[in-house]
Structure 1
Amino acid sequence: MTQSFDAAIQAFAPALPLAVGLSGGADSTALLVACARRWPGQVQAVHVHHGLQAAADGFERHCASLCQTLDVPLTVRRLDARAAPGQSPEDAARQARYKAFDGLALGQQALPAIQSIALAQHADDQVETVLLALSRGAGVAGLAAMPAQWERAGLQWHRPLLQVAGADVRAWVQAQGHAWIEDPTNTDTRFTRNRIRAQLLPVLDAAFPAFRDTFARSASHAAQAAQLLEELAREDVQLTGMPPEIKILQRLSRARQANVLRHWLRTSHQTTPAAAQLAELLDQIQACTTRGHGIRIKVGRGFVVRQGPTLDWCDA
């Protein structure tokens, strides 16, 4: 169920010290203000300068001014977040942010060691993520959207506002008298997420007022299904090996083959096959009944190939 902003902050119980990701927008400003007020002297802010737009220097100045007002230490990481060929700008910026935060865990910052990181995505962001996943034909892992808590690089990560409506976050920070900055790219409808925000969410709000709760419930169901598939993949890997043995793969159902292959490619080679690529690979595995049958299929940024009795991976 959706929560009020105050209830979400009261329920938030991170290990301290805490770092808050601060973009300077309304959501991260609200989260930083609330956390700094609740845990004075135990909160730091991290701002990532993506280097992608002229307004970025202004974002940094705004964050510095806010942190000075709150008496909160600020770390600024300047990164080149330009997208690689074939990568979406949104994904490139997100990956750059995670690398910046990972630096905290690796001791690359001058601040005291932190235990947790908080990000300010809220219930509307979660709905957008589900709709974005649907628009791309994602499986259950994509439909699970954003987790509220996870571990990465030795730190606990939190999204304490995932059950708070975006309008409530803005109303709270406005009531506190704090200004924020608007990223001009947030209204650029060339980006799918922005079209969802501007065109679909108002319609959903009018037709299904409880959509934030129902979408969150569906995302939770998908997350449970994704966890079960991951557990099954780990069991099947004990049979097939890594890299997987073709004859043993052939004893599994096509669905279990697909599941274990996704697991192998993601965990061993950090790549995810497109649906068409995976279907072709499964067809080739089924047809691979002779010693001379070769396999070389483009998957992600490389190729899956046959290497004797097993599958293997080579870079493009």
Structure 2
Amino acid sequence: MNEAFERAMAAFEPAHLPLAVGFSGGADSTALLAACASVWPGQVVAFHVHHGLQAAADDFERHCAEVCERLGVPLVVHRVDARHAPGDSPEDAARRARYQAFATMARAGAAGGAIQSVALGHHADDQVETLLLALSRGAGLPGLASMPACARRHGLDLYRPLLAVPGADIRAWLKDLDLPWIEDPTNENERYTRNRIRAVLLPALARTFPQFRTTFARSIGHAAQAQELLGELAAQDLAAVGDPPRTGALQALSRARQANVLRHWLMQAHGCAPSAAQLDQLLDQVRACTTRGHRIHLKVGNGFIERRGDFLHWYNYGPSPKASR
């Protein structure tokens, strides 16, 4: 018995059943699927996303079908086109396609009812990799908070019950069941930054700071708590400045609060995350709005922000841009 894995699963209580498990066929999702199927027999379904990015993708699907048959778990497969656009990250494109596929499969219903909860096999090593990637990019609190244990996305409750469990512990638990898993060959490709972190940095951290997973998790928790407070403040400030925001009302706030509420507005209303440089430029323009004729037209995320009267509007790229709200 692996105590870390058993503790994590004992603490996992999804709000709704039936439960879907994102199932790639790898060790982490295989262990999570087996454990969930044991705790909630007849109320678990496996969601497998066929990305079509590797020649072995069909083999992965067949493997998942064999494991699900052995566990007595229904398997739902959804095929996506996860190819990335020029300039886009292939990992980000695949991740977006995967979450959208989960939502599509959940709406279709399975295991005797509509799916509202999806469990994912991300573990402690994945969380550390996410934190190190965020630090390498100079991320703010949302990035340093890394992956939440529970989140809402595409109308689904997403759970990550294994974030405190090292990957090695998960594999040790799985070996006791004598359940097979597949190794994704792309995990060995050090062209991807995350793979270099896994191969080089994690072993070095383990030698230098043996408890790094625990201490990093503590820092991640502090960042997440601070981000939650900033989110609450941003919601209060947005209620005061309006949606869309009024430049005059924004100017009554400190620059830090302006940045916080504008990030919140762009993400909540438009799913847009401005870069640090774009946000700084926008804040400079808001400060310069001392006359009604001052014009703002800035690229922000994948669209533009314009000043119209005393209001800021954001719109997408397109031949016929239309102001939001």
Report the TM range for the smaller structure's normalisation: over 0.9
1:186 Cα deviation from its structure 2 partner: 0.8
Structure 2: state its 5+ residue gaps. 318-325
Q: Look up the SS of the partner of 1:4 in the other structure.
A: helix
Aligned to 2:80: 79
Aligned Cα RMSD in Å? 1.5
Aligned to 1:11: 11
Aligned to 1:192: 193
Q: Look up the SS of the partner of 2:238 in the other structure.
A: helix
Aligned to 2:103: 102
Could you tell me how far apart the structure 2 residues matched to 1:204 and 1:31 are? 26
Aligned to 2:280: 279
Alpha-carbon contact 1:105-1:153 (below 8 Å) kept: no
Alpha-carbon contact 1:3-1:163 (below 8 Å) kept: no
Aligned to 1:54: 55
Aligned to 1:253: 254
Q: Look up the SS of the partner of 2:206 in the other structure.
A: helix
Alpha-carbon contact 2:76-2:105 (below 8 Å) kept: no
1:154 Cα deviation from its structure 2 partner: 4.4
Name the amino acid aligned to 2:13: A
1:234 Cα deviation from its structure 2 partner: 0.8
Aligned to 1:298: 299
Structure 1: state its 5+ residue gaps. none
Could you tell me how far apart the structure 2 residues matched to 1:157 and 1:270 are? 18
Cα gap change, 1:219 to 1:3, in 2 (>3 Å): farther
Name the amino acid aligned to 2:69: Q
Aligned to 1:202: 203
With structure 2 as the length reference, what TM-score do the two structures score? 0.93
With structure 1 as the length reference, what TM-score do the two structures score? 0.95
Q: For each residue in 1:190-217, what CA deviation from the matched residue of structure 2 results, as whole angstroms up to 9, or x when unmatched?
A: 1111111111000000100111011111
Cα gap change, 1:155 to 1:299, in 2 (>3 Å): closer
Alpha-carbon contact 2:45-2:110 (below 8 Å) kept: no
1:280 Cα deviation from its structure 2 partner: 0.8
Could you tell me how far apart the structure 2 residues matched to 1:306 and 1:295 are? 5
Aligned to 1:176: 177
1:16 Cα deviation from its structure 2 partner: 2.3
Q: Look up the SS of the partner of 2:142 in the other structure.
A: helix
Aligned to 2:241: 240
**Count of residue pairs the alignment pairs up:** 314
- Farther-moved stretch of structure 1 (283-292 vs 295-304): 283-292
Could you tell me how far apart the structure 2 residues matched to 1:247 and 1:7 are? 52
Alpha-carbon contact 1:16-1:42 (below 8 Å) kept: yes
**Identical counterparts, % of pairs:** 64
1:86 Cα deviation from its structure 2 partner: 3.0
Q: For each residue in 1:62-83, what CA deviation from the matched residue of structure 2 results, as whole angstroms up to 9, or x when unmatched?
A: 0001011111110001011112
Alpha-carbon contact 2:48-2:76 (below 8 Å) kept: yes
1:150 Cα deviation from its structure 2 partner: 2.5
